Amino acid sequence: MIGKEIIESEAIPSAKVKEVLEEFSENNELNYEQNLTLNHLSRFKRYSAEDSEEIMEKLQETFPNLRTRAIVHIVDLAPQDLADLRLIFAKEPYQPQKEEMEQILEILEQYDVEE
């Protein structure tokens, strides 16, 4: 990686990464790492890119104390219960209350996970 420099870093949901890689692969050949990433992302159930963005917006509006990285983890992992959600917040500085976590799960239940 000689001569390459990270200019900006931003947490984005894996559904968006998959979408970008699929669009890129239509006109270009993927390198080894890109191909591995796309294969990995294709194996797991995820929300669509549009649903991911919508969920992230709702969570940011409803819970302004949540960091973007935590919101991306929530969208990527699609927790099904409080135990799964607690694992996401294990190392986060902000620890939501049980009622807030239930609210997060209610927001997630409004969307279908794609296979």
Mean of per-residue pLDDT scores for the chain: 92
Cα torsion 56, 51, 99, 79 to 10°: value is -100
**Residue 4's pLDDT is what?**
79
Q: Delimit the domains of the chain by residue range.
A: 11-115
The predicted-structure confidence for 44-73, as pLDDT tens digits, reads as follows 878 998 999 999 999 999 999 999 999 999
**Residue 1's pLDDT is what?**
53
* H/E element, 88: helix 82-88
Overall CATH class of domain 11-115: mainly alpha
Q: What's the average model confidence in pLDDT over 1-21?
A: 86
Cα separation, 46 vs 66, in Å, equals 21
Residue 17 confidence (pLDDT) above 60: yes
Q: What is the pTM of this model?
A: 0.85
